[in-house]
Amino acid sequence: MNAERVGVELGERSYSVLVGRGMLAGLGQEVRSVVDARSSRAFLVVDSGVPSSQIDALSGSLADAGFVVSSVSIEPTERVKSIATYERVLCAVASSGHGRVDPVIGVGGGIVCDIAGFVASSYRRGVPIVQCPTTLLAMVDASVGGKTGVNLAIEGGGLLKNLVGAFHQPRLVCADAAVLSSLEPRQMRAGLAECVKHAHICATVGHPDLGGWMKEHLDGIARFDGGPLDELIARNVALKASVVAGDEFEDPGAPAGGRMLLNFGHTFGHAIETIDGVVPVGRCYDGSVVGLLHGEAVGLGMLAACRCAENLGLCDPSIGERLKATLDTLGLPARAANLPGTGEIIARMGHDKKAMGSTLRVILPTGEGRCAIVEDAAPGAIAAGIDSIRG
């Protein structure tokens, strides 16, 4: 297969991320090569937004490689990413006669990859998972690294994101950039936010060139031009792969922060992502879009983290100013209207941490391409961060 192979080096759990174009139609043999020879079935967990031509190409290739293919479709929303959907998919997998050595294959964005992975982690105490991400965000982040899970709905209507799940590394990831041609521009932009996140931690995690490369190619990236886009995916997958290889299970004591650095923008972002009625504000938004995509919330969360860091004297205001300009060039929002009170957002930021018995931890920038973990940052600085993104 004509693809770049980025390795995720995890000893006996090592695997490849294939980065290329037009790979789905030939993926059957690749899947065959990473599962037990007795494997006879494959179960696809499919994002309802993926064009049927892509599913047909993949299914045909799996059939040619000797798999009997079954599938279930999921409408990918954060509310649907639930225990109820997890159970529905498990029941469908069981009904298909899926065996212990048979792969589950996630085909979709981050929500679908996370659900498919969680099902695979627990069905018959664990079966192989292969991820075929179909959004940019899932290619550069969600499909790589083995984090799987669903959200938990709590009293009062709130959602605790990814509170239930497991680490379950894929056997193979296929990041096929050709499938992105059918993705809505808003979804593409949301994926770019995770790449911007990587650029802000790149020096700390040993990929110091990523930030400069992205700056140099920013206009092409903003237009989703083929050449820069393919290289963007490969470079971001390589960064994610090495962070995961260094700290597979997000050890709180990992030197220099480890995998937790990938949460830059996420503590602020998660707190506003699932609030109903929030309106993103920016040059690509006319006020008619209500609600935030994960990547949009992460972009806003990174901006809030910059202001928080600035307030604590950890970084220069130029870091936040440049981030704002980058988000604007990429068409991502730099503010949000209809946010609830700052106290409520801080309470949301602390909620999942409290549930896990840990302190509020934020990832804050300390320089160009550098971030650090800060425990219990002063509430005034957190509040300043939140207020800086109000539209």
Q: CB of 114: closest distance to ligand GLY in angstroms?
A: 10
Q: Based on CB atoms, which residue is closest to ligand GLY, 130 or 201?
A: 201
Annotated catalytic, 370? no
* CB-CB contact of 18 with 102 (8 Å): no
Annotated catalytic, 266? yes
Q: Based on CB atoms, which residue is closest to ligand GLY, 262 or 372?
A: 262
Nearest to 319 by CA among 204, 200, 228, 225: 200
- Helix axis angle, 342-355 relative to 379-387, nearest 10°? 120
Q: CB of 262: closest distance to ligand GLY in angstroms?
A: 4
Q: Based on CB atoms, which residue is closest to ligand GLY, 141 or 296?
A: 141
Q: CB of 31: closest distance to ligand GLY in angstroms?
A: 23
Q: CB of 313: closest distance to ligand GLY in angstroms?
A: 27
Beta bridge partners of 74: 47
Annotated catalytic, 200? no
| Site residues (vs ligand GLY, CB under 6 A) | 141, 145, 147, 259, 262
Annotated catalytic, 250? yes
Q: CB of 141: closest distance to ligand GLY in angstroms?
A: 5
Annotated catalytic, 263? yes
Q: CB of 149: closest distance to ligand GLY in angstroms?
A: 11
Annotated catalytic, 273? no
Contact residues for 49 (Cβ-Cβ < 8 A; gap 6+): 76, 108, 109
Closest residue to ligand GLY in the complex (CB) = 262
> Cα dihedral sign for 378, 379, 383, 385?
positive
Q: Based on CB atoms, which residue is closest to ligand GLY, 281 or 363?
A: 363
Q: Are strands 335-337 and 68-74 parallel, antiparallel or unpaired?
A: unpaired
Query: Per the residue annotation, which of 81, 294, 307, 348 is the catalytic one?
Result: 294
Annotated catalytic, 4? no
- Helix axis angle, 317-329 relative to 185-201, nearest 10°? 150
Annotated catalytic, 338? no
Q: Based on CB atoms, which residue is closest to ligand GLY, 98 or 147?
A: 147
Beta bridge partners of 131: 106, 173
Query: Per the residue annotation, which of 2, 38, 125, 155 is the catalytic one?
Result: 125
| Phi (first) and psi of residue 290, to 5 degrees | -120, 130
Residue indicated by tokens 């995890």: 10
DSSP letters of 158-174? -EEEEEEEEE---SEEE
Contact residues for 360 (Cβ-Cβ < 8 A; gap 6+): 267, 349, 350, 353, 375, 376, 377, 382
In whole angstroms, what is the distance from residue 124 CA to residue 120 CA? 8
Q: Based on CB atoms, which residue is closest to ligand GLY, 294 or 324?
A: 294
The residues annotated as belonging to the active site are 125, 147, 194, 240, 250, 259, 263, 266, 270, 294
